[in-house]
Amino acid sequence: MSDLIRTERRGGVLIWTLARPDRLNALPDLTDGDAFAAACDAANGDGDIRCVVLTGEGRAFSAGGDLKAMRDRRDLFAGSGAEIRERYRRVVHRIVRSLYGLELPLIAAINGPAMGLGCDIAGLADIRIASDRASFGVPFLKLGLIPGDGGSWLLPRNIGHARAAEMLFTGRSIDAETAERWGLVNRVVPHERLMAEALAEAEVVAAQPPQALRIAKSLLRQGRDMSLDQMLELSAATQALAHLTDDHREGVSAVIEKRPGRFEGR
């Protein structure tokens, strides 16, 4: 794994910190797709991890693309149109696909500006908690670009077409309070309380039965593009499997006995 993502583990909670503060956690360098893919693969394969928290080091969550690299036509932006397209697919799209394919609940603790790809990465989280210093923007058109990271698919699903169009077509950023009102974040907290709030939320999530938790996330994601009939069929099949788990029996016993459940993923 590259030095982009610093990893810390607290019980069943994994903390990922974007550790490029001198560049406002700009993304992506050419190895960043590999870094996100490796981090997500490792988390998906670890049955003891129940939830992931993603945040940024320093004063930004992520400022998005490196403008100097764009100006100089280097790294991701070097070469012909065909070469740039292929790098978007191998690097940018790999980041997006990896995060979207994370089987565990992902909480974004947005500590500062989240711009461009940074905004869309935050939007890939299942739960988004913002510092009162956070801001959000998709200023692609100001640069003569479009959302090359799939943001035109993601953002309308998070805040609706009209508000996504307003953000994209004007290039204006919104503050944390507006992001909360529009549904881009779940809530806004004082900056100094951000990680405490995010980790407290993660602990609640991590206490749920792990197999059912992963299935529930999968159903939410698949439900974006399914008909009701398709979702009902999938829900019946997965619910039948859930009924056969030890965690289901433990959950029922815990509710009847008025005690916390002790879930082991069996």
Q: What is the rounded CA–CA span in Å between residue 75 and residue 98? A: 21
259-264: which pairs have CB atoms within 8 A and are 24 or more residues apart? 260/207, 261/207, 261/209, 263/207, 263/208, 263/209, 263/210
pLDDT band at 259; cut points 50, 70, 90 = confident
Q: What is the rounded CA–CA span in Å between residue 150 and residue 217? A: 20
Residue recorded with tokens 């959950």:
251
Residues 6+ apart with CB under 8 A from 121: 27, 54, 62, 95, 96, 99, 108, 114
Q: What is the pLDDT of residue 138?
A: 97
Q: What is the pLDDT of residue 2?
A: 62
Bridge partner residues of 115 (DSSP):
137
Q: What is the CATH number assigned to the segment(s) 210-256? A: 1.10.12
265 has a pLDDT exceeding 80 = no
CA-based nearest residue to 95, from 110, 109, 76 = 76
Q: Give residue-wise pLDDT tens across range 2-56.
A: 689 999 999 999 999 999 999 999 999 999 999 999 999 999 999 999 999 999 9
Q: What is the pLDDT of residue 257?
A: 87
Q: What is the pLDDT of residue 260?
A: 87
166 has a pLDDT exceeding 80 = yes
Q: What is the pLDDT of residue 105?
A: 98
Q: Give residue-wise pLDDT tens across range 75-106.
A: 999 999 999 999 999 999 999 999 999 999 99
Query: What residues does each domain of the chain span?
Result: 5-206, 210-256
pLDDT band at 181; cut points 50, 70, 90 = very high
Q: Read off φ and ψ for residue 117, nearest 5 degrees.
A: -60, -35
Q: What is the pLDDT of residue 1?
A: 43
Q: What is the pLDDT of residue 252?
A: 86
- What kind of architecture, by CATH, is found in domain 5-206? Alpha-Beta Complex (3.90)
Exposure string for 146-180, b = 16+ CB within 10 A, e = fewer: ebbbbbbebbeebbeeebbeebbeeeebbebebbb
This prediction has a pTM of: 0.93
Strand, helix or coil for residue 106: strand
Q: Give residue-wise pLDDT tens across range 100-143.
A: 999 999 999 999 999 999 999 999 999 999 999 999 999 999 99
Q: Give residue-wise pLDDT tens across range 201-218.
A: 999 999 999 999 999 999
Lowest model confidence (mean pLDDT) among 42-56, 190-204, 238-252: 238-252
